[in-house]
Amino acid sequence: MFRKVLVANRGEIAMRVIRACRELGIRTVAVHSEADAGALHVRFAHEAVCIGPAPAAKSYLHVPALISAAEITAADAIHPGYGFLSENAEFAQVVERCGLHFIGPRAEAMQRWGDKLRAREIAEKFGLPLLPGSEALKNAAHAEAEAARVGYPVMLKARGGGGGRGMRIVRSSSEMRRAFESATAEAMNAFKNPELYLERFIERPKHVEFQVLADEHGQVFTLGERECSLQRRNQKLIEEAPSPSVSDELRAEMSRRIRQAVRETGYTSLGTLEFLMDDEGRLYFMEMNTRVQVEHPVTEMVTGVDLVREQILAAAGHRLNLPEAVPLDGHAIECRIMAEDPATFAPWPGKITEYLVPGGLGIRVDSGVFAGWSVPPHYDSLLAKLIAHAPTRGEALARMRRALDEFIIGGIRTNIPLQRRLLDLPEVTDASMTTRTVENLLLGDAVARSRN
């Protein structure tokens, strides 16, 4: 087992990793920017190292500073969390070359699955369904030709992308050139890779993702799926497990195919395969995320499996002791609590003057903030994740509504009012929501304001 793990992240995910390490008897090292000197993860780690000024490029994304911090504290492994360098294969290679363990997949597996076009090839080989699409696009004219072949509307996607960046919906050839240019620029800025491809666009899909976990001994486990349709601009707001749209038969069949694909490509660690579901209940593979997901707690709640703990054990070479298809118990829902205006979505940094979290049976809060902490303007606005678990989906929804009503965060604005509104929508109650649900609600708000 590792003796000491450096957590190359901040906020709630840094706290999540520190907790898992402590339960395993592993010492932890927190890294922090100057802006995060008083952060919660810095307080709870055994050691802490300042790695640079506030901008992420000069701290959390600064590889030499991270490696130096690991070396001076004698850490033997690095956990990247999510975001930042978590899916950066070059970082994983540097970690290994420096004689450290990277708690995640091997760099070659990350490259194989992280390249969206190569991932499509793997999916096709192992019978995972795909939307009609293209290879890498050479230029806007090539994109127009491929879109005409596939059929409009199409979605332009960054080959090395994620998090909704480098994506554009194109509904006609007249829109293609401008969309291609803006998506290329965004992809280059975000991923240092300007290549795009396209897929046929589904107007009102559901977003369903399957959780997988593999160890170094050839074992691959599936832990059900999550429903992530409630999102804005490809950024998830509410997730739940299991998906109310996935039958037991579909879950079993998709899990079988996923295990085969993961096993035969030599992938180890946590991974999430993401799919779109059309209105006839057919799934189409999109991509694989080669890291722990923000929404992993809902899977933990319905499986009873500590995913971060198992990820660490797998990276340390342990043989995991789980059933191939982990059974699911009850229903869990997660709301992402953000420091932002609930109407405009503008980030809202500032001092938290009051912080009272909800409690009671089946409620969990993963957070990296506290009363008196000043939310810095330099990073993602996620404050906390509120998770509710209950025997049925209806009970989980009721429990989450109650918990949101109890959650008090003073001094700044948050999206709690929006989360509460979303849970009261009829299409959320009856599980007919799609990836357009949030946008439709916001469009209705805009129309109402214009009439007033």
Residues 365, 249 share a domain: yes
- Same domain for 157 and 218, yes or no, is no
Question: Do 219 and 189 share a structural domain?
Answer: no
According to the model, what pLDDT value does residue 161 have?
72
The first and second tokens of residue 131, run together, are: 């939307």
- Say yes or no: 371 and 321 in one domain: yes
Residues 243 and 345 in one domain: yes
Same domain, 345 and 367: yes
pLDDT in tens, the chain (452 residues): 999 999 999 999 999 999 999 999 999 999 999 999 999 999 999 999 999 999 999 999 999 999 999 999 999 999 999 999 999 999 999 999 999 999 999 999 999 998 999 999 999 999 999 999 999 999 999 999 999 999 999 999 999 877 678 999 999 999 999 999 999 999 999 888 999 999 999 999 999 999 999 999 999 999 999 999 999 988 999 999 999 999 999 999 999 999 999 999 999 999 999 999 999 999 999 999 999 999 999 999 999 999 999 999 999 999 999 999 999 999 999 999 999 999 999 999 999 999 999 999 999 999 999 999 999 999 999 999 999 999 999 999 999 999 999 999 999 999 999 999 999 999 999 999 999 999 999 999 888 888 87
Q: Could you tell me if 196 and 211 lie in one domain?
A: no
Residues 186, 224 within the same domain: no
Number of domains present in the structure of the chain? 3
User: Are 138 and 215 in the same domain?
Assistant: no
Q: Looking at the structure, do residues 144 and 54 belong to the same domain, yes or no?
A: no
The enclosing domain of 40 has a CATH number of: 3.40.50.20
Compute the distance between CA of residue 166 and CA of residue 156 in angstroms, rounded to an integer.
8
Q: Are residues 187 and 305 in the same domain?
A: no
Please indicate, yes or no, whether residues 270 and 347 belong to a single structural domain of this protein: yes
Q: CB–CB of 78/100 below 8 Å?
A: yes
Active site residues: 291
Domain, as residue range, for 66: 4-103
Which of 152, 168, 200 marks a domain boundary?
200
Q: Is residue 110 part of a domain?
A: no
d(CA 110, CA 19): 25
How is residue 145 written in tokens? Answer: 């030709």
Tokens read off for 353: 């003057």
What does the pLDDT read at residue 273? 98
Q: How far apart are CA 7 and CA 315, in angstroms?
A: 14
**Residue 183 counted as domain residue:** yes
CATH number of the domain that 263 lies in? 3.30.470.20
Predicted local distance difference test score (pLDDT) of residue 272: 98
* Tokens linked to 148: 């005409």
* Other residues' Cβ atoms within 10 Å of the Cβ of residue 19: 16
Give a yes or no: residue 394 inside a domain: yes
pLDDT at 95: 98
Q: Is residue 122 part of a domain?
A: no
The full DSSP string for 139-161 is SHHHHHHHHHHH-SSEEEEETT-
C-alpha distances in Å from residue 103, one per residue of 109, 270, 298, 335: 13, 10, 21, 26
Distance of alpha carbon 249 from alpha carbon 332, whole angstroms = 20
Query: What per-residue confidence (pLDDT) applies to 447?
Result: 85
Q: Does residue 48 form part of some domain?
A: yes
Residue 280 and residue 208: Cα distance in Å, rounded? 14
